[in-house]
Structure 1
């Protein structure tokens, strides 16, 4: 007889108060229930249940053994459920929140590939640059760029979000290639953000441990980087944007990297999810795929 099965039978007999009731609940014979309990008692060398012709009750040791058996059987059931959950195909709706630029250019193609791999999954993607509360707003997976504050969420680091400066070949031919960050002062820059005299835009570049900061000037500002990218491609100035997007435009010959000997700004990026112990197979699958693609 399997000891875990015998523990399960003993728990049921203790809870229902008789071998007959336990036998009916477990679809066994009363004799088989008695054998399971007797086997445990023989193994332990002590009685677990006081039996009379009219009633049965747990011994003192039986009470403590009963509590321990419940923990053991529950943990075994959880292990089985976890294994079965991991084997199941991801399915259901995943609610995701991400920053606008990263979500539009990098995350959206990833999600298309993921949905192609898992046809039973649906993704509801919300793009926003504000900090959302996942518990209040119901998001299951978040992508955040920047330093993290203390949180009850589980964080997985991704590759840093790196920015580089670029301009079209036509603009460089017309205005020249900046040699240092200070040279940007005489160029038309395409600036991400909103007009705020109290919080001016700053671009930071570093080389050999030294950081240089410039305040870009230009005729176009926008709170959506896609607009700035279009302007850069059209030859209207120098933009500072995500490296993974701009490298593709550089490869195609549409843009040239400005200040290639300098490192542009970089910010940490993380995946955030609720407590990992509650993660379903759909969330685990999505997070694992994100980490493989961007980690």
Structure 2
């Protein structure tokens, strides 16, 4: 099929609609011979006659009538597809998003009504998990990740930093005591988190004497899910080291007690990633802008 077949189809539809080669040329703002040539090339490509031409009027052949109806629908569909991806078109349709459980609970879901109010025609398909998502394989439009990013072909935007805090339940402290320094953590049991992707246990990092130090207490429980991590800590199974936003309500209620207040925990970066494509869909674009603004507004909580 010729690369300009769609253009010729549109010219033919205009000729039929206007009932004249001349009027079609005026509507399309092209020369009349170009209109005649386009219809002739269309007939040659199809191998059928589409129009009966006389000096007074045009009429379609049976094949021309059928081709006209189908060509008009094709042109309508193509214009609709192009319009749906236009920056001027209000975002609509599905947005597939993946984010860590802790951020889904504390930041995304509580604010999602705001996003829906701004973009009511977007349907959010939200996957909450603590695993590394395969954006391409799983058809995800964008992901939010907590921690340093590995090199990849994805585009990313840094949203900010998630402050970390070390806590334990009153029951744990009553049984095992309270550490007063990062070194004393090594004498305690922890609820540790490991990456499902790499199987690596996450280190706990603190600032001590102006330097970053890493400590990894022995695991009383080892989990790969932040919901289970929190539940285990509340049950007194070990000390927790997790994003402050996820633990703050339980610190305020007294269900958890903050430890090591004199040692600053090293924050973890939070980023949003999307596939490296030349074209960024309106849905992804508005979500990235919204989540960036949301994180900026709520940064003190994280």
Q: TM-score, normalised by structure 2?
A: 0.62
1:239 paired residue number: 240
Q: CA deviation at 1:104?
A: 4.5
Instruction: Decide whether aligned partners of structure 1 residues 157 and 181 sit closer, same or farther in structure 2, where only a CA change above 3 A counts.
Output: same
Q: Is the contact between residue 130 and residue 226 of structure 2 (CA under 8 Å) also seen in structure 1?
A: no
CA contact (8 A) 2:194 2:201 kept: no
Q: Is the 8 A contact 1:167 1:237 kept in 2?
A: yes
Task: Give the SS at the match of 1:289.
Answer: helix
Find the counterpart in structure 1 of residue 109 from structure 2.
108
In 2, the alpha carbon distance for the partners of 1:219 and 1:151 equals 34
Partner of residue 146, structure 1: 147
Q: What's the secondary structure of 1:138's corresponding residue?
A: coil
The answer for the alignment partner of 1:17 in structure 2 is none
Q: Deviations over 1:83-124 (max 9, x none)?
A: x734x4432100112234433543333335423543321111
Q: How many residues align?
A: 227
RMSD value, Cα: 3.6
- The answer to whether the 8 A contact 2:220-2:237 is kept is no
> Alpha carbons of 1:113 and 1:236: their partners in 2 closer, same or farther (altered >3 Å)?
farther
The SS at the match of 2:262 is: coil
Aligned to 1:268: 269
Q: Which residue of 1 aligns with 2:159?
A: 158
Conserved? CA contact 1:201–1:216, under 8 Å: no
Per the TM alignment, residue 241 of structure 1 is displaced from its structure 2 partner at its CA by 1.0
Question: Does the aligned pair in 2 maintain the 1:106–1:245 contact within 8 Å?
Answer: no
Consecutive unaligned residues in structure 2, runs of 5 or more: 1-10, 12-19, 33-82, 297-302
SS where residue 120 of structure 2 aligns? coil
Aligned equivalent of 1:95: 96
In 1: Cα distance, 2:153 partner to 2:134 partner: 11
Q: 1:91 to 1:189 in 2, by over 3 A?
A: same
Query: 3-state SS of the aligned residue for 2:273?
Result: strand
Q: Match for residue 177 of structure 1? A: 178
Q: Which residue pairs with 1:283 in the alignment?
A: 284
Alignment of 1:239-258 (within 5 A): 239-258=240-259
The answer (yes or no) to whether the contact 2:131–2:195 under 8 Å persists in 1 is: no
Q: Aligned pair in 2 of structure 1 residues 136, 21: CA closer, same or farther (>3 Å)?
A: farther
How many angstroms apart in 1 are the aligned matches of 2:156 and 2:221? 36
Unaligned runs of 5+ in 1: 1-11, 13-19, 35-80
Q: Which residue matches 1:27?
A: 27
